Amino acid sequence: MMTSKPRILVVTHQFTPHVSPRTTRWSILCEELSSRGYEVHVITGTRQNGNENKNYQVQYLGSDRLGSLIESTRRASSKSEENNIIKKLFFFIAKRIYRLIYRVFAWPDYSMLWYFSVRRKIKNIPDYDLLISVSLPFTSHLVAYTLNKKRGTRWIMDIGDPFYLKKDAPENNKYLYSYLNKYFENKFYKHASKVVFTHQESMEYHKKTFDTLNHKSSLLPPVFHAKINKKTNNFNYKKTPVKVAYFGVLTIGVRTPDNFLSFINALDMNNIEIHWYTNEDSKHMIKSVYSKSSKNFFHDMVPRDEALDLMDNEYHALLNIGNQNPFQLPSKVIEYISTGKPIIHYSEITDDPVVGILNERSNSIIINRKTNPEQAKKEFKEKMFSDKSISSVENFNSVSVVNELLKLI
């Protein structure tokens, strides 16, 4: 018998403390749901460090045996000592072998082993009234489908990046699995009660291929934590050098820094620093373009709360690099907006969904390959030394987004 408020199970391979747009989105939503009295339980393939203070339950159902070995190798590879040549070479080779095997054979994506781990431990998963699965990775939906076949409750799929429709940087070997990708994505859509997308362009893009979405798709906007707007800020915009920060990862074929770096180098502005909070692969991409540039400063990715503090208190402006397709809206843009700081957005395509959002803000700087460098320098001087200009982001705070989610429930 269902209680007055449904018990909610969230299935997501990635979750906090892992840092990604999807983990941020659902940690905020789970927090908001639990604050309203909903019983929320999360199952994830992300190890918990034991010191999280959450008002909801998080259950790690990670891969043992082979999965743990691979996970350990990946972590060790990223932390290998630079002055240990043999160790560095070993992990370099191990990482390349790992990537080659997974790139060729893994289905539906790199997290496929998690599916088998959950299958083995399915009896440990508590009862629920509503199931929500989160991608990427798409394996989360495969797990949810298996669970729902056994328990038969309402199921909401939250779609991040495209899966079958992702042509650049696909999640698996599209030459081997293209038919399988489309078949199972369509199968899951038919089985789900609702399918939600973060923005209109992505939803319409999917509906053209999957007819079943015409009567069960809805929008569930990106989300940011409202507390960032409550901070006081006495940032001195007059101090130099001008510091610009980028938070997030870069991906070949999806979001690359090449054109932006070429443009910023052509500006010949000696008093500007670009600070990159990103992963090792992204750092390598940047260094391969401008290995000797003194303008670039590299940092490891940081937890979300630390990133918000840095955005608000350390930098003149925030940088976003547009995707090379119109179907992905980077969630960082909403959090950037909520700080009120000037935002530099490098747009790669004419139908970039971020441009429409940023055009409403007086201190946004939108550039592309056709932008005149002298005009850009003028905009930089006008907008990067201005006071904060808080724009309304009420539709994207946790309260508003959960209200939209509850309408679907």
DSSP characters for 382-409? HHTTSPP-PPP-GGGBHHHHHHHHHHH-
Per-residue pLDDT for 232 more than 50?
no
Per-residue pLDDT for 361 more than 80?
no
The yes-or-no answer to whether 8-65+107-224+398-408 and 226-392 have a common fold is yes
d(CA 257, CA 123): 46
Fold entry, domain 8-65+107-224+398-408: Rossmann fold (3.40.50)
Kindly indicate the confidence band of residue 393, based on its pLDDT and cuts at 50, 70 and 90.
low
User: Strand order in 57-60's β-sheet?
Assistant: 57-60, 40-44, 8-11, 130-134, 154-159, 194-197, 217-219
pLDDT at residue 394 in the model: 67
Task: For residue 227, give the H/E element and its range.
Answer: none
d(CA 394, CA 66): 45
Tell me which of 26 and 51 has the higher pLDDT.
26
Per-residue pLDDT for 31 more than 70?
yes
Tell me which of 119 and 339 has the higher pLDDT.
119
Residue pLDDT, tens place only, 189-228: 999 999 999 888 889 889 999 999 999 999 998 887 655 5
Residue pLDDT, tens place only, 169-197: 788 888 899 999 999 999 999 999 999 99
pLDDT at residue 223 in the model: 84
Per-residue pLDDT for 294 more than 80?
no
Percent of the chain whose pLDDT exceeds 90: 31
Residue pLDDT, tens place only, 101-111: 777 888 999 88
264-284 mean pLDDT: 84
Kindly indicate the confidence band of residue 291, based on its pLDDT and cuts at 50, 70 and 90.
low
pLDDT at residue 388 in the model: 55
Per-residue pLDDT for 277 more than 60?
yes
Lowest model confidence (mean pLDDT) among 79-83, 164-168, 370-374, 394-398: 79-83
Residue pLDDT, tens place only, 239-248: 778 899 999 8
- 226-392: CATH number: 3.40.50.2000
d(CA 199, CA 331): 11
Of 351, 350, 328, nearest to 162 by C-alpha is 328
Percent of the chain whose pLDDT exceeds 70: 85
Kindly indicate the confidence band of residue 21, based on its pLDDT and cuts at 50, 70 and 90.
confident
Per-residue pLDDT for 233 more than 70?
no
Token representation of residue 408: 């679907």
Read off φ and ψ for residue 15, nearest 5 degrees.
Answer: -155, 170
Per-residue pLDDT for 1 more than 60?
no
Tell me which of 138 and 23 has the higher pLDDT.
138
Mean residue pLDDT of the chain comes to 82
Per-residue pLDDT for 140 more than 90?
yes
Of 326, 337, 397, nearest to 364 by C-alpha is 337
Kindly indicate the confidence band of residue 52, based on its pLDDT and cuts at 50, 70 and 90.
low
4-17 mean pLDDT: 90
Of 192, 189, 46, 41, nearest to 117 by C-alpha is 46
State if pTM tops 0.75.
Answer: yes
pLDDT at residue 231 in the model: 47
Per-residue pLDDT for 65 more than 60?
no
Q: How many CA atoms lie within 13 A of 382 on its CB side?
A: 10
DSSP bridge pairs for 245: 275, 318
SS3 58: strand
pLDDT at residue 229 in the model: 46
Q: Taking the domains of the chain in order of start, what are their residue ranges?
A: 8-65+107-224+398-408, 73-104, 226-392
d(CA 165, CA 178): 9
